Structure formats: structure tokens, C-alpha cells
Amino acid sequence: MGVVAAPETYVWPLVALIVVILPQVLVPERMREGPPIAVPATEAAVVLILLAVAAKPGPVPRAARPLVLSLVAVLIVANTGAAARLVALVLRSTPEGETPPTVTQLLVTAVTLLATNIVTFGLLYWQIDGGGPDVRQVGAARYPDFQFPQTGVEGLAPPDWQPRFPDHLYLAFTNVVAFSPTDTLPLTHRVKGLMAIQSMISLAVLVVVLSRVINILPP
């Protein structure tokens, strides 16, 4: 029987979502190019639903996991659509009489999209790794999806150590900035595929936006 770890809170996932929503609604439209209102609206709906799920006494019910996974998938699809819209906007020819996006708009939008990319994929990794936080808590997962340093070498962490949301959020961050695993290794095909998709989204945004910004800036 596995070692039972302390139950994991949903506070930090909710805080991370709120942090990426705020710039999308508080930054004036003149300083950004999207995302469409559907993206922050979807994120706000997910926050409310997660609050309802996590507010119940005791551990989060295992039956709620498909709902949480579905909500995270919707978030990723919405943010991917916003990223595709930005790439298409940058690549298209600006019609006569229309003002092209400014450097500030492009950079603010790119940072917002990349931050959302990190948080949404961090949530997804957190929910699918080893069957999710509830399964990891009781040590019932047969095989993990990721190998963290603390699980690969004895003596780096207590025997009951289990990865939590901040660990998966950091994994998502390093995958965006390095386009590859750093200290944590993907073990299953599904997370390798997800990490590849996350890297392609961030790479498309960075390459297209930075190239346009370099062209706009004066020599």
C-alpha cells in the first residue's frame, strides 16, 4: 500500500488562473490585440466551476475529474485559437486605411498568450499525471506520466513526496522557454504529445511576433 500524502488544495490553480485573466480584462484594448472576449469569459467560467468543485468539504470527488479535464481542455483550445488569430493577424497584409498592430500591442498580447499557455498546460499536466492529484495522494498510481528529480533519486525529498501544482506549473514554464524537458522527464506518449503541442504554440507566437516587432522597430 502506498504512502498517503497530504491532500492537495485547489487554491494555487485558481490563483494562477485569476492571474492570467486579469491582464486580459484590465489592460486597455489600445495596448493589446485580443484575445477575443470568449477567452477570458471561458477562463472565468472555469474558475467559478472549479470553486464550486473545490468548495465542497473533504477531498475533491474523483467523479469531478472528467469535468475538470474537460474544462482545462476548453481553456487550451480557446487560448490556441487566440494564438492562431494573432499569428494570422501578423502574417496577413494590412488593408489600406487600417492601422497595423503596434509593438506594444504585439508584445502585450504575446506575453498574455504565453502566460495562459503556461497556466493551462500546467493545469492539464497536474490533472493527468499519474491519474490526477487524488490518485497521487493515496499512492494508487501504478505508473507516473512524469519523472521528477525527487522521485528519481532517494534522499532528495521525504518518502511521501508527490508532485503538486507548482511542480507541474514549473514544468509547463520550462517547456515554453526551453522547448524541451529540463529537470523533469515525460514518460508516456500522451504527455510527450502534449508537451510538443505546447512548445509548437509558444514557438509560433514567439517567432511570428518577434519577427514583426524587429521589422517595426527603427534601425
All structural domains of the chain with their residue ranges: 11-216
Q: For the chain, give the percent of residues with pLDDT over 90.
A: 24
pLDDT at 202: 92
The two counts, helices (H) then strands (E), for the chain are: 8, 2
User: What rounded mean pLDDT belongs to the chain?
Assistant: 82
Against a cut of 0.75, is the pTM above it?
Answer: yes
Is pLDDT above 60 for 3? no
CA atoms of 186 and 208, how far apart (whole Å): 28
Query: Which triple of cell numbers denotes residue 149?
Result: 528529480
Is pLDDT above 90 for 29? no
Is pLDDT above 70 for 218? no
- Cβ–Cβ under 8 Å, residues 42 and 74: yes
Reported in sequence order, the residue ranges of the chain that DSSP labels E, i.e. its strands, are 146-147, 185-186
76 vs 42, higher pLDDT: 76
> Helices 165-178 and 189-216 meet at what angle, rounded to 10?
50
Nearest CA to 112 among 46, 47, 180, 34? 34
124 vs 159, higher pLDDT: 124
Q: Is residue 2 very low, low, confident or very high in pLDDT (cuts 50, 70, 90)?
A: very low
